[in-house]
């Protein structure tokens, strides 16, 4: 009886032992994915920012500039690309909408970002663009991979349409979460004018004909929760200038925008709460279940060996001999 119980326990121990790596290396990549239909928005503000008045072409200080960023999952586009790419992808249609203190639009730049649902690596397909101009992204954007490492990553900058390293600068505590702090500096770079300009009748082409150019630099900072790879806080020290040409009336340059752009407090609280919830799900697949299954397998194996040893313990009474058969007489 003990031997049968030991064999059953051994079989169950092997089962749990096999589940441990399967959960971590098979189930996790297939279950931990960004939903194709995910929608999220983020509001950032720059207090006491410098903004160009296009009426006078002079920079002035304004109490607040607001940036609204939205990311909307395009399920139909993702399904089409899934078939061609041979893997599960996510298509985010994004919009960065900037408005001044009077509520009027300063700029709006649409994006389409296509990436692997698990690894967050960019997937190149028709439709990938920034401001309706085709691009070929290299590196991550918006989100880090699950199980982010303490190292530098390549990060795509939508303004310059180029990729630059974003550097790991250490581990910090942010509102009860252990986070990795990353920082990227984009040097002064000439960039295109937005397709949609804030003044009616003025287009990017008409401004370009004046010889005036647009330049941009930023210091980008992110606080990233490493298990989920989600930024819980971000800010940019952002500057834009117009340089040269007849539009500036002989001046060499004028500030178009300058400000310290930060996430609004209510969005910080919402993001931290959401990340804490998702963090538990990722840990379930990468830590709790794999190690739990492994621990259960080791425990059951030990119990099986113990029962087997008890079944073979020396000193147990030998089984009684069968009685001799009685002689048969005819």
Using CA atoms, how far apart are residues 259 and 265, in angstroms rounded to an integer?
A: 17
How confident is the model at residue 326, as a pLDDT? 62
Averaged pLDDT, 50-64: 91
Averaged pLDDT, 65-91: 93
Burial (Cβ within 10 Å: 0-12, 13-18, ≥19) of residue 2: middle
Which of 155-169, 201-215, 303-317 comes out lowest in average pLDDT?
Answer: 303-317
Asked whether 25 and 293 are in contact (CB, 8 A), the reply is: no
How confident is the model at residue 109, as a pLDDT? 95
Question: Is residue 72 over pLDDT 90?
Answer: yes
- What burial letters (b/e) apply to 22-54, b meaning 16+ CB within 10 Å? ebbeebbeeebbbebeeebebebbbeebbbbee
Average pLDDT, the chain: 90
How confident is the model at residue 134, as a pLDDT? 96
Asked whether 164 and 182 are in contact (CB, 8 A), the reply is: no
Residue 109 half-sphere exposure toward CB, CA atoms < 13 A: 19
How long, in residues, is the chain? 330
Q: State phi, psi for 274 to the nearest 5 degrees.
A: -65, -40
Using CA atoms, how far apart are residues 196 and 149, in angstroms rounded to an integer?
A: 38
Using CA atoms, how far apart are residues 59 and 48, in angstroms rounded to an integer?
A: 12
Question: Is residue 53 over pLDDT 70?
Answer: yes
> In this predicted model, what pLDDT tens digit does every residue of 203-256 receive, in sequence order?
888 888 899 999 999 999 999 999 999 999 999 999 999 999 998 888 999 999
**Within a 10 A sphere around the Cβ of 143, how many other Cβ atoms?**
20
Averaged pLDDT, 258-272: 96
Looking up tokens 């313990």, which residue turns up? 313
Residue 115's closest CA among 77, 152, 165?
77
Question: Is residue 318 over pLDDT 70?
Answer: no
Question: Is residue 147 over pLDDT 90?
Answer: yes
Looking up tokens 């007849």, which residue turns up? 246
Asked whether 163 and 154 are in contact (CB, 8 A), the reply is: yes
Averaged pLDDT, 50-61: 90
Question: Is residue 56 over pLDDT 60?
Answer: yes
How confident is the model at residue 203, as a pLDDT? 85
Q: Where are the domains of the chain?
A: 32-263
Looking up tokens 């041979």, which residue turns up? 86
Averaged pLDDT, 170-174: 97
How confident is the model at residue 303, as a pLDDT? 84
Of the pLDDT bands very low, low, confident and very high (cuts 50, 70, 90), residue 330 is very low
Using CA atoms, how far apart are residues 138 and 154, in angstroms rounded to an integer?
A: 7
The one-character DSSP state at 315 is T
User: What global pTM score does this model have?
Assistant: 0.88
């Amino acid at each position: 009886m003990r031997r049968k119980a030991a064999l059953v326990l051994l079989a169950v121990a092997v089962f749990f032992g096999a589940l441990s790596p399967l959960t971590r290396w098979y189930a996790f990549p297939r279950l931990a994915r960004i939903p194709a239909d995910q929608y999220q928005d983020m509001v950032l503000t720059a207090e006491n920012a410098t903004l160009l008045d296009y009426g006078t072409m002079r920079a002035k200080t304004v109490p607040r500039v607001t940036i609204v960023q939205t990311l909307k999952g395009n399920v139909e586009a993702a399904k089409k690309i899934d078939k061609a790419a041979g893997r599960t992808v996510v298509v985010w249609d994004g919009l960065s909408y900037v408005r001044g203190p009077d509520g009027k639009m300063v700029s709006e730049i649409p994006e389409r970002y296509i990436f692997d649902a698990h690894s967050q690596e960019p997937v190149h397909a028709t439709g990938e663009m920034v401001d309706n101009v085709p691009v070929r992204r290299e590196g991550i954007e918006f989100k880090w991979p699950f199980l982010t490492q303490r190292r530098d990553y390549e990060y795509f900058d939508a303004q310059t349409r180029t990729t630059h390293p974003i550097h790991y600068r250490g581990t910090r505590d942010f509102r009860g979460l252990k986070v990795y702090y990353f920082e990227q500096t984009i040097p002064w770079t000439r960039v295109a004018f937005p397709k949609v300009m804030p003044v009616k009748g003025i287009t990017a082409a008409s401004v370009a004909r004046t010889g005036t150019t647009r330049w941009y630099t930023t210091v980008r900072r992110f606080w990233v929760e490493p298990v989920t790879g989600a930024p819980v806080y971000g800010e940019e020290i952002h500057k834009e200038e117009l340089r040269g040409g007849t539009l500036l009336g002989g001046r060499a340059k004028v500030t178009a925008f300058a400000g310290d752009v930060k996430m609004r407090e209510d969005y910080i609280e919402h993001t931290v709460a959401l990340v804490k919830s998702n963090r538990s799900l990722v840990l379930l697949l990468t830590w709790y279940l794999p190690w739990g299954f492994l621990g259960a397998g080791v425990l059951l194996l030990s119990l099986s060996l113990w029962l087997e040893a008890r079944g073979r313990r020396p000193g147990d009474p030998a089984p009684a001999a069968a009685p001799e058969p009685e002689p048969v007489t005819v």
